[in-house]
Structure 1
Amino acid sequence: MASETNNPSREDQSPSPPPQPPIAQTPGPRVTRLQEIYAQALARTLRANSYANFAACFPTPAKHVPASLENVWRQLNAKLEESAKAEFEEILVERDAIAQLNELDRLVGEARARREAEATAGGGDTDMDGGEKIPPHTLPPDELFRAHLTPQLEKTKAVLDGKIQITETENLELAQRVQAQRAEIERLLAGLETVVADVEGAAAAATEYGCENNLRKDAMQMDEEVKAVSEQ
C-alpha cells in the first residue's frame, strides 16, 4: 500500500510528447520532379551519343562491320543508362533524399495552409506601417529568396543608376564640345574662303597691271623711234 501511495501510477505521470509522424518513403512531388529532370538529362546525354557520332570515332569498323559496331553502340548506351540510373538511386538512398524532400513538401504544405488560414481569418500582427506581419518561416522559398535578394539588387541598381547618370552628363558635355568645335571649324572655313577670294582678286589685279605695263613700254618705245626718225 505504501509503495502504491508513494509511487504515482503511470496514468498520473505527464505523457511524453507524441512522436513525429513517419516520413513517407514514397516519392512526393519534389522527388518525382527530380527524377523526371534526371531522366530528361540522361536521355539528352544518350541522344548526344548517337550512332553517327560513335561511328565517326571508329571509321574502319563502321565501314567493314557496321552491324557489329552498331550492336556494340547499343550495348554501350544500354550499359551507360543502366549504370547512371543505378548510381542515381544509390545517391538518393545515401543522402536520404526521398525522406528529406518529402519532409520539405510537408513543411511547405503546412506553411501554405497556415498562411491561407491566417489570411482567411484576417488575423495576424501588424507592423509599423499597418501591414500584416507574416512570420518568415511561413513564407515559401521563392518569397524568402526575393526578400533576401531585393536589398542587394536595389543597392546595385542605385549604383548603376548613378553611373548611368554620370555617363549621360559626360555624353552631354562631349556633345556640346563637339558642336562648339564644329562651329569653330565652320567659322574658320568661312574666313578661309574670304582669304582665298582676296588672293584670287590680288592675282587678277596683278595680271591686269602686268598687261597695262607692257602696253606702256611698247608706247614709250614707239615714241623713241618716232623721235629718232624726225631728228634724222
Structure 2
Amino acid sequence: MPSTTTSQNGSHHEASPSPPPPAPVPLTPGPRASRLEKVYAEALARTLRANSYANFSACFPTPAKHVPASLESVWRQLNAKLEESAKAEFDEIMREKDAVRGLNELDRLVGEAKLRRENGEGESVVAPHTLGAEDLYRAHLAPFLQEAQDSLNEKLEATQVQNAELAEKIRQQRLEIESLLSGLEVIVADVEGAAGATAQFSKENNLREEVVKMDEEVKARQEI
C-alpha cells in the first residue's frame, strides 16, 4: 500500500511510489562466465598436454634411463601441482574481480536490449498531431531536400572528377610546352652561333680585302 503524507492544511495525498529495487544478480555462472571458464580449462588442458612425459623425460635423459618410474612419478606430481595452482589462481582472480557477477550483469543487459529491440522499444516514435507547424513543414520537405542534396552531391563528385582530369591535361600540356621551349632555345642558340660565325667570317674577309688593297697600293707606288 503506498504511503500517504499530510500537508500543512491537513489534507492527505499519496506519495509517489519509489521504483522497485533491481533484481539481484545471480552468482551462478551465466553463459559468458561459463564460456570463460570453459575457455580457460581448455587452454590449461592444452598446456598440460604440451608438457608430455616424452618432452619432460627428454630434458632428463639420465634419470629417464636409470629410474624411469621415479621420473614419471615426478612428472605426474609436477603436472598435478601446475594444474592445481593454475586453477586456484584463476578462481582467485575471478573472486577479486567479481567476474561472475559482472558477466551475469552483462548477460542481463544484452538480453534486455534484445528484448526491447524485438518489441520495438527504444525507438522514439512521435505522434504527428503533437508536432508544430514548422516541424510538420520540415518533415514534409525533408525527403525532397534529401533527394536534392543527393543529386547535388553526385553532380559535385562528377565535377570534381572532371576538374581532376582537366588539371591532368593542363599539366601534360605544360610539360609539352616546356619541352618545346627547351627545343626552341637550343635552335635559337644554334642560330645565334651561326650568325656570330657568319659575322666573324665577313669581318675576316673584309680585313683580307683591305690587306690586298694596301699591297696593291704599295706595289703601285714602288713602280712609280
Q: With the length of structure 1 as denominator, give the TM-score of the two structures.
A: 0.48
Q: With the length of structure 2 as denominator, give the TM-score of the two structures.
A: 0.49
